[in-house]
Amino acid sequence: MRNTDFLWGASTSAFQVEGGFGEGNKGLATTDTRKVPEGMADTKIAADHYHHWKEDVELMAELGMKCYRMGFSWSRIMPDATMEINEEGLAFYDQLIDALIDKGIEPLVTLYHFECPQALVDAFGGWLDRRMIDAYVKYAKVCFEHFKGRIRYWVTVNEQLIATAAGDLNGNHETDPKQSLKNVYQMSYHVSVAEHMAFNLLRQIDPIAKIGPVCSIQVVYPLTSRNEDAMAAWQAEEIMEFSLLDMSVRGRYSPFVTHYLKAHGLFPSVREEDDEILRQTVPDFIGVNYYFSVCAKKHEGEINYHQPPFWINDLYDIVANPCLEKTEWMDMGVDPMGLRIGMEKIYNRYQLPMIVTENGMAVSEKLDEEGKIHDDYRISYLRAHIEQLEILEDEGIPVFGYCPWSFMDVVSSHQGFNKRYGLVFIDRTETDAKDCARVKKDSFYWYQGVIKNNGIGDH
């Protein structure tokens, strides 16, 4: 990359690495209380970052990371519905942030990454209720004030697509599928209002810092060249990605999405005063999570309510792409060019700087007889996607960082430790945490060279 300040980093989230269940007066989150299948790892220990953070920061420094995209656990900072501050929780993040800064690693902190405080779900239903907006802003204010001058990059919400769609993560346990879908759009609206209030709040508290949302970009190809399939693919992108980003950036839905939601009884309940909140601020950047693209065709038959909420509609069906190679955990296929296609569309629409906050390959892995992980497949995946970023730079599109998922193996939100993404192997099984020893994979050393060279180059 020509940009010598490019933020080469790696990502995790709080609930997927921290562990420390019940320690330091941490409260319960939805990620702690949801039902985990028997024989699958939960969040109680995860990667035990809570007890290994010093070692982990040393490994980050060894890797040469310029940026660590991490998350705060809201329920560690505010354990219950009183929203009173837990000083032990702040102290944990104080020591971690200070250690990162001491090593020259920029903290990029996500305020909300899937885990909703269970106390707020119990008190009023979480994001389904407007009271969640004020609760989120109060939490954000504590973080912005406490870490002013130390954290220069903030993320409001990670992947609103999943944060609002996964009922076990947000507390939406409505059994009627039509009402559940309506709930998703209502929660999404509340998230957007909260985001814009956070944009404004940060600029009052710490005007030097930057803030933005992280989206799960949905690159959708038509199954065929028929115009109805092309229209289905466009509509799928508008609903699954841009309905969310339009609200995060512009504070309004597009005419198509507005019409669709109203025609289907899905348009959220709003208040007149929200409009000024939504329109008066824009984010400083957009974070991009990308793993694979999807494919769509014109909808046929009855609506299938037994699929992800943003796939449920009478316009398009999400289908397998016959042109892409599939892997064990990536059943939609691997598509590096999709990253560039998606980011070009985002920039053309919003004209905001971007950073890749997640991009990675999931594989089931075990240490070999020599206690190592030879993950050439992950190296190939990362190389191919970084090459696409270098093309974006050549085109003049402002991408200021790349943080693959994930720095270390994490407990997957729904697949435990069977599904591994890390540059660092965590030596534990689903049922035996052992001592969670850290083992550098071949991809760790490869990525170390990429960072040192500021890009792929001849590496």
CA angle 451-457-459, nearest 5°? 70
The answer to whether 237 is a known catalytic residue is no
Largest CA distance in the chain: 64
The answer to whether 430 is a known catalytic residue is no
DSSP annotation string for 32-61: HHS---TTS--TTTTT-HHHHHHHHHHHHH
18, 159, 237, 241: the active-site residue: 159
Spatial separation of the C-alpha atoms in residues 12 and 358, rounded to whole Å: 9
Q: What are phi and psi of 448, to 5 degrees?
A: -55, -40
Number of H helices, E strands in the chain: 17, 13
Helix (H) or strand (E) holding 381: helix 376-394
CA angle 135-141-145, nearest 5°? 155
Instruction: Give the total residue count for the chain.
Output: 459
Beta bridge pairs of residue 295 = 221, 319
Residue 404: how many CB atoms within 10 A of its CB?
Answer: 26
At 292, list the tokens: 């694979």
Is residue 37 helix, strand or coil?
Answer: coil
Spatial separation of the C-alpha atoms in residues 385 and 407, rounded to whole Å: 16
Spatial separation of the C-alpha atoms in residues 368 and 371, rounded to whole Å: 5
DSSP E strands, 227-353: 286-289, 294-298, 316-319
Is residue 193 helix, strand or coil?
Answer: helix
Class of residue 133 by CB neighbours under 10 A (exposed 0-12, middle 13-18, buried 19+): buried
Helix axes 49-63, 87-102, angle to 10 degrees: 20
Residue whose C-alpha is closest to residue 455's, from 375, 358, 388: 388
At 347, list the tokens: 């920039």
Cβ proximity of 171 and 116 under 8 Å: yes
115, 237, 238, 358: the active-site residue: 358
Beta bridge pairs of residue 109 = 70, 154
Provide the annotated active-site residues: 159, 358
